[in-house]
Structure 1
Amino acid sequence: MDELDPKLTEVESYRIGESLYGLSLHELDGRIAAYRAEIARLEGERDKKSRERNAADALFSSKPT
């Protein structure tokens, strides 16, 4: 993580479930975009780990010939 990245710092300040009352439309759109990007990143990591697990399962469950 790059602590100097302003986008990262801003996104890290978001809290799921916090009040959205004082946010403008622009701010809400920004949060939606940030959360969508984070969801895509999480899904990519999940898919990668799933492929790695499937490969490991295939390697360790194969029967010796």
Structure 2
Amino acid sequence: MALFDDEPKKKPLAHEIGQELSLLSVGELNDRIGLLKAEIVRLEAELAAKGTTKSAAEALFKR
């Protein structure tokens, strides 16, 4: 038996798309929903920022 693990322990993912949900508690499901909603907000903000940059670039080159 080794005293030290060669590989660091991998942190479990908060949620994985398609993951089995039947073993999760109601609280765990609610936590994951909150995490996913926060991720959607983050993705939408990035999408909006990219749209603004794209619009600015298009306006610059259409002169």
Q: Greater share of helix residues, 1 or 2?
A: 1
Q: Percent of aligned positions with the same letter in both sequences?
A: 42
Runs of 5+ unmatched residues, structure 2: 1-10
Q: Output the aligned Cα RMSD.
A: 1.1
TM-score by length of 1: 0.75
Larger-Rg structure: 2
Higher relative contact order (CA 8 A, sep 6+): 2
Structure 1 gaps of 5+ residues are 1-8
**Aligned residue-pair number:** 52
Distance in 2 between the 1:39 and 1:52 partners? Answer: 20
User: 1:40 aligned to 2:41?
Assistant: yes
Instruction: Describe the SS at the equivalent of 2:22.
Output: coil
Q: Any runs of at least 4 consecutive aligned residues in structure 1 with deviations exceeding 3 A, and if so which?
A: none
Q: Please, what TM-score do these two structures have when normalized by structure 2? A: 0.78
Alignment of 1:23-38 (within 5 A): 23-38=24-39
Q: How far is the alpha carbon of 1:58 from its aligned partner?
A: 0.1
